[in-house]
Structures are given as C-alpha cells and as structure tokens.
Chain A
Amino acid sequence: MTEHSIGGKVQTGIAGFDHIAFGGLPRNRNTLVAGTAGSGKSVFGLQFLFSGATMDDEAGVLVAFEEPPGDLMQNVRTFGWDLEKLVRERKLAVVDATATVDDEATVAGTYDLSALLVRIEAAIRAVNAKRVVLDSVGALFTQFDDGGLVRRELHRIGARLRGLGLITISTAERVEEDGGIGRFGVEDFVADNVIVLRNRLDGERRRRTMEIVKLRGGPHYKGEYPFTIDLEEGIAVIPLSAIQLSQKSSTERMSSGVAELDEMCGGGLYRDSIALVSGATGTGKTMLVSHFLKAGFDAGERVLLFAAEESKEQLARNAAAWGIDFGKAERDGLLKVVCRLPETMGLEDHLIHMRRDIAHFKPMRVAIDSMTALERASSMKSFREFLIGLVTNLKHLGVAAMLTTSSAMLSVTESATEIHISTMTDTIILLRYIEISSEIRRGVTVLKMRGARHERAIREYTIDGTGMKIGATFRNIHGILGGSPTYMFTPGLGHDVRAPDRHNELA
C-alpha cells in the first residue's frame, strides 16, 4: 500500500525500527540481520513476514535453514502470529532447507545450490511474494563443507532476489556481541544493509539493542537502540533520541491541582508539559500527584496513574485521607491506576507496557509515582533510555505528566534520578523538609518553569484533611535549599517566619 511506503522504503511493521531506519527497508535490497544465539533474529524475520502479510498485503516466503519451519512458526505463536493460517491463505510460502536427519550425502565432484534457488523462486511465484526471509544462512555452512561455494551461491541467490524487486532479510549468527558482523563472511552476500542485534548482560539484566550498521541508499539513525521482545508486539524498538522533539508546545495552561501552586507557576502548568516533583519520603509527593489527578478527573479528563511503590488500595486510602475519591473516578472511567512492581520486568518492557497503556486509555494526564522506584530496578544506562523513551512518547502525544522522585537526603540536593530527569522536564517542583528553630516544617518551591515566569520564593505548606495547603513565603531565611537555613532578623519582618493553619496538620 502506498501509505506504507516512504521514499521507496517499505515499513517492516517492527515497532520503532522503521523510525530509526528513516521509514523502513528499501525495495530491491538485501538486509542482513546478525546477532548471537537468542538475540531475536528469527523473530525479526518472522515479524517482517507476518506484518507484511497481514497489514500490507505483501505475501512472503520463509526459507528455513536452521530450525524446521514448523518449529519457527510454533515459537512465534506466543505473539499471536498464526503463520500456519497465512500459509493456508497463500500469503506465506515455506521452503524447508533444513538438513534432513539422514543427510549424510557424499560429495563427488562439482555441484551448486541451484535447486535451492529454484525452490525459492517457485515459492515466490506461488504466493506472488514481495518479502523473503532466509533464516539463518549460517546453517548452510554446516550442511556443506565448501564454505567458498556456499558464499558464492548465497551471493548468487542474493543477486537474483534483488533483481526480482523483493526485500530480502537474511539472518546470520554471530559468535560474540562485539567484533565481526557475521561468522562465515556472509556479510558480503547481503552488502546492502546490515543490522546487528545484541543481547548483553548489563548489571544483572539482559539488555537488548539493535544497531543499523549500514543502510544503503539513505540515511538512518546511528548507534544502538534498546528493544524488547514483547508478548503482544514482538520486537519493539525504543527510538530514544530518534524521536523528534519538534512538537509545538502548548501555551494552554491547566491546573496542577493546587491553586497556590498554579499561582507559583505563573498560572498553572502547561497542557503538554512534564512536571517533576522531587521530595524526601513523607513530603507529600503522592499527595501532590493525587491533586494533579483529581484536577483532571474533576474536569472530566481521563487520567492515568502508574504506581511503582504502593498498591491500588493503599493509594485509594491515601487519597481518601485528603478528600479525594479515587473509587468514583475509576467507576466513572476517568481514572486508571496501573500498579506494576518495578522488579517484575526490565525497564524496556515497562516502557512498552506504559506506552501501550497510554495508547489504549488515551489520558490527558499521566502520573508516575515514583521514578526512583523504577530506577532502582535498572542500570543507569537503561534508566536513562527509559526516561528518554517515556518523555518523548508523552511529548509526542501532548499528554501532561507529573513524575515524582525521592531525594536521597531529607532536605538537600538532587538524587541521581533527578539529574537525569531534570533536563527533560518542563517544570520542577521541590518539596523539602526545613528545620527552623528545632522544628521540622515543609517548604515548596518551583525551581524551573520552562518558557514562563514563575515565583522564585519558597513557601511553607501543610497537609490536612483536604490535602496540600500552601501558605506564605519563608522570608528572612536563606540557605533553605542548601540545608542550613540562616535567619536574618530584619526589624518588622521577622514574624513572617510563622505560617498559618499549622494546628490542623496531619503527620
């Protein structure tokens, strides 16, 4: 279909890949997908065939060298891909080029692999195929001793398929994650495009990445992009920096859920902005999130909360303590709370799930409480990638978001999470414990408000049965954020240190 072709390229149907490949794979070209055992090469190939046959009306041919076609098809059933059905519907043809058990053939003289080419061409004709996957060509080298001949023949097959106007993907096994592309020098055979899939151990977690090493006839994004193999989508690449952040930003304001905070932000948060709430445990981050969500569902907006630390019931109880009714909002279909323990899966998978939740629920506001919990379950590198992937996705959709992070220390400085996040967020709200005259009090300030004036003062706030109450500015004290407030006794102004309504405060 024409809408799936961008500049002569064909979309693979592999989420995120087409983006980093600037639209997909070019026609009349051969692509080598190389990776170690278990790196997802076969899934890549089969996904390409499946989405071609089901979404683009492009039939395909699967040439199986290593695993029998039946096994390959069985393996991807978990993704909901019924390749057998495609075979019955003549949208997929299979060439079984695996070695037979009794294949103890003696070699007596010169031979070639013309029969293989004949079979592939017959399969292409049978279904009028546009896509061909050879999985994995390395197995041919174990079937035939003459490596030079196999390379020559693969080259001939590649040239022939290119001439037929097809897109061909060949998979090849690599021995090591780094070093040469292919094991048998097959990269010569498919010199057009080379994609490397990696599956490294990063900390204690597996981290999959995809790199386009070469893409003839067009630009592509460089470097390694994390991907995940997801039960619903198969391979999903996280494009990270490849996502253009060129979306025009909104000038429309919305309420943060706390009127005084809106005031401090110069009239509310921007409709498509991402706010970071930083504070130590007990400063009221979850409360601020609850206010943020309430402002949404009270206005009839759908809001989505990702909770990484507390259960749904706990969150609802907390919210009720501040006079916020999560239960009703949920029943009204305006609130969705997704509780997923960070440790249950890799961050790549978290991201894929979150993106899907957002895509399905279509919220106007998203809150994540907390990012710190997610960070704990990952390495710094994958957390950074997760963050970029998430933020770009939210920006792309124009969804307002509130993310929370826990400061390691009770009053001072930024955590590592914040250093990463702060550059990517539009607004930073700090919640801090402040010790004044042997008393712990709480202060809030807006540290950053992209593209707008905001109040730079630190205001005292309290928490009561209706949630957050922001009061007056701490005046005549400086060094609060540094953790050691100093008093300045200016005559006539000293009383401002006291804040109102402190007797109602909840612990």
Chain B
Amino acid sequence: MEYSFSLYVTGQKPASRSAIGNLQRLCDEHIPGRYEIRIVDILENPQVAEREKILATPMVVRQSPEPIRRVIGDLSNTDKVLEGLDLLQAAPMSRSQFGGSLT
C-alpha cells in the first residue's frame, strides 16, 4: 500500500478511540483506498514501545512513504495532522505523476 501508518495507543481510552477514528476519517478523505493502518496497543505490547522508543500516546507514525513522520495526540487538530503527516499534497494521483503504476 502506498501509505502505511502505525498508530500506537495505550488501552481503550477516549484519546485512543478518537485517534483511531480521526486517522481513518482523514485518510478516507485525503488518500482513500491508498492506505493501511496498523493499530498497536502499547499495554499489550510494551516491548514495541521500547523498540520504537515511544513515550507519548496516541502517536501515529507514517512508515511509508519515506521519510518517516510522526504525529502525537488524539489527532483532533485536523490541520496539524495533515501537515504533520504531509497529506495536504496527497491529492488523488494522476497517471502522469506516477506513471500509471498505481491507482
């Protein structure tokens, strides 16, 4: 998938739920059909948090395309999320831009 996100949350808190909801909504609006989201609950996988050196949650990491980008928070501030994940320029792609290899 073109866009790949890891969303780290800590338990089923309101902030976790709204982060998941907000990310899905924004992706559907800006990059529909071109993304995948992997949700990781730190409470169940503390070793992942250690490996990824995560302190703050919720946190979304754009794993691809590179460069890696991170956004912290429940993603309620839409402008900041779009800016942080660099989704503003991610207008639906034309064949001329990507040589037609992707839809």
A residues near B (Cβ < 8 Å) are: 95-98, 100, 102-116, 118-119, 121-123, 140, 143-144
Contacts of A121 on B, CB cut-off 8 Å?
46
Contacts of B71 on A, CB cut-off 8 Å?
105-108
Interchain CB contact under 8 A, B81 and A108: yes
A460 to chain B, nearest CB (A): 80
Interchain CB contact under 8 A, B75 and A108: yes
A229 to chain B, nearest CB (A): 30
Interchain CB contact under 8 A, B42 and A106: no
* Nearest-CB residue, chain B, relative to A149: B56
From known contacts A102-B68, A122-B46, A122-B50, infer whether A112 and B56 are also in contact, taking CB-CB under 8 Å. yes
Interchain CB contact under 8 A, A105 and B46: no
Contacts of B11 on A, CB cut-off 8 Å?
114
* Nearest-CB residue, chain A, relative to B56: A111
From known contacts A104-B70, A119-B49, infer whether A114 and B57 are also in contact, taking CB-CB under 8 Å. yes
Interchain CB contact under 8 A, A103 and B10: no
- Residues of B47-86 whose CB lies within 8 A of A: 47, 49-50, 53-59, 67-78, 80-81, 83-84
Contacts of A113 on B, CB cut-off 8 Å?
55-56
From known contacts A95-B50, A105-B71, A109-B76, infer whether A114 and B42 are also in contact, taking CB-CB under 8 Å. yes
B66 to chain A, nearest CB (A): 11
Query: For this complex, into which size category does the number of interface residues on chain B fall?
Result: 35 or more
One of B22, B50, B57, B72 near A107 (C-beta < 8 A): B72
B-side binding surface: helix, strand, loop or mixed? mixed
Interchain CB contact under 8 A, B15 and A112: yes
Cα A123 to Cα B50 with chains together (Å)? 9
A63 to chain B, nearest CB (A): 10
In the A-B complex, the 3 residue pairs with the closest CB atoms: A106-B84, A109-B73, A108-B80
Interchain CB contact under 8 A, A108 and B50: no
From known contacts A118-B10, A119-B49, A119-B50, infer whether A111 and B70 are also in contact, taking CB-CB under 8 Å. no
Contacts of A116 on B, CB cut-off 8 Å?
55-56
Interchain CB contact under 8 A, B46 and A108: no
From known contacts A110-B76, A122-B47, A122-B50, infer whether A115 and B70 are also in contact, taking CB-CB under 8 Å. no
B8 at the interface (CB under 8 A from A): yes
B43 at the interface (CB under 8 A from A): yes
Cα A102 to Cα B63 with chains together (Å)? 13
* Nearest-CB residue, chain A, relative to B44: A118
B19 at the interface (CB under 8 A from A): yes
Contacts of A97 on B, CB cut-off 8 Å?
53, 55
Most buried by B among A107, A111, A122: A111
